[in-house]
């Protein structure tokens, strides 16, 4: 082997070791996206077009782009409810504390009248579409100021929990985005898997999860309704009344069960189940019904909420 080839192979080996060492001293972020369902039956798709993902390190005022999509990534959020997730990205980051994360969007701003492509939009069950605009004076990104840590040679698993029902605002000028999104550390969160026994008596029931004691009666007529809820899930009538509310931080929750009309407005607040305990990385099963259970301990009767 001549000297030139030897030098080439030696350089290649050094570069490989350099890359491996660089990754070894960094930490890895795995980022997913999930959603709470829309209350309205006529919305088939809520499409967000994402152009980049940024993070903000502790002590810095400059956002760092960790993933840029050459062609904007369009995600139909309604496909990722009931604990389903979309894998957004996996990136190596400098170890340390971070205080924020945001999604840059391809979305039109109603202030300047410009359109973009691909455009974040809504698709309805009748086949029609509506452009989704940023609110007047709003920004073309969704920002979550929530702390997380990246540790050397370890993986941090985060999930962005978008809430469509709180985020889409209907005005006289059309549909506006007022984003509601929270960031969850997967290793500090759990889920509620439940069954609503009386599902056959109602066309549409939604379970809203509240931190214990946070529900107030005025929320039933607010815009959006049930604004203080952490997350929600629709009772699946085709699956025996089951539901799943995932990515809940460890703690105690109240579940509010509401019968909704087709347009998402409130028909009847059926009741509340108090003190459901969620533990990290565990699924809590709970069975509920409107009448006293036949077998004690098999299922819990929900109490009046109003």
- Give 127-178 pLDDT, tens digit per residue: 999 888 887 777 889 999 999 999 999 999 999 999 998 998 887 777 888 8
- Give 249-258 pLDDT, tens digit per residue: 999 999 999 9
- What is residue 13's three-state secondary structure? helix
Closest CA to 182 of 72, 252, 101: 101
Tokens of 260: 């909704």
Distance CA 301, CA 290 (A): 6
- 190-306 CATH fold: Immunoglobulin-like (2.60.40)
**CB-count burial class (<10 Å; 0-12, 13-18, 19+) for 246:** buried
- Give 228-286 pLDDT, tens digit per residue: 999 999 999 999 999 999 999 999 999 999 999 988 899 999 999 999 999 999 999 99
Computed on alpha carbons and rounded to an integer, the radius of gyration of the chain in Å comes to: 23
Under 8 Å between Cβ of 32 and 85: yes
Distance CA 217, CA 27 (A): 45
Least confident of 116-120, 255-259, 274-278, 302-306: 116-120
Distance CA 221, CA 208 (A): 15
Q: Where are the domains of the chain?
A: 27-179, 190-306
For the segment 100-128, the average pLDDT, to the nearest whole number, is 83
What number of helices (H) and strands (E) belong to the chain? 2, 22
The residue length of the chain stands at 306
DSSP secondary structure string for all residues of 157-194:
EEEEEEEHHHHEEEETTEEEE---EEEEEGGGEEEEEE
Determine if the peptide bond prior to 118 is cis (ω within 30°): yes
Please tell me the chain's helix, strand, coil percentages from 3-state DSSP, rounded to the nearest 5. Answer: 15, 50, 35
Does 12 score more than 60 pLDDT? no
């Amino acid at each position: 082997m001549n000297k030139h080839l030897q030098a080439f192979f030696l350089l290649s080996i050094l570069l490989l070791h350099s890359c491996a060492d660089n990754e070894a001293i960094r930490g890895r972020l795995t980022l997913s996206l999930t959603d709470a369902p829309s209350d309205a039956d006529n919305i088939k798709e809520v499409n967000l077009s994402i152009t980049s993902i940024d993070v903000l390190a502790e002590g810095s005022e400059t956002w760092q782009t960790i993933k840029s999509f050459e062609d904007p990534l369009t995600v139909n959020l309604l496909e990722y409810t009931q604990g389903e997730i979309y894998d957004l990205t996996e990136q190596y980051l400098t170890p340390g504390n971070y205080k924020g994360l945001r999604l840059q969007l391809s979305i039109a701003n109603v202030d300047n009248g410009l359109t973009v492509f691909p455009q974040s939009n809504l698709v309805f069950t009748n086949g029609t579409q509506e452009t989704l605009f940023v609110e007047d004076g709003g920004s073309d990104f969704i920002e979550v100021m929530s702390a997380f840590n990246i540790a050397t040679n370890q993986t941090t698993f985060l999930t962005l929990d978008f809430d469509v029902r709180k985020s889409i605002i209907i005005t006289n000028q059309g549909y506006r985005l007022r984003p509601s999104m929270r960031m969850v550390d997967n290793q500090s969160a759990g889920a509620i898997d439940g069954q609503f026994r009386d599902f056959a008596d109602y066309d549409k029931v939604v379970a809203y999860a509240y931190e214990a004691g946070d529900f107030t009666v005025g929320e039933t007529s607010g815009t959006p309704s049930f604004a203080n809820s952490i997350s929600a899930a629709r009772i699946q009538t085709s699956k025996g009344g089951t539901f799943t509310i995932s990515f809940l931080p460890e703690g105690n929750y109240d579940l509010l069960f509401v019968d909704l009309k087709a347009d998402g407005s409130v028909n009847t607040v059926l009741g509340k189940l108090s003190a459901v305990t969620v533990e990290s990385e565990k699924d809590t099963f709970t069975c509920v019904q409107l009448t006293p259970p036949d077998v004690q301990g098999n299922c819990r009767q929900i109490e009046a909420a109003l």
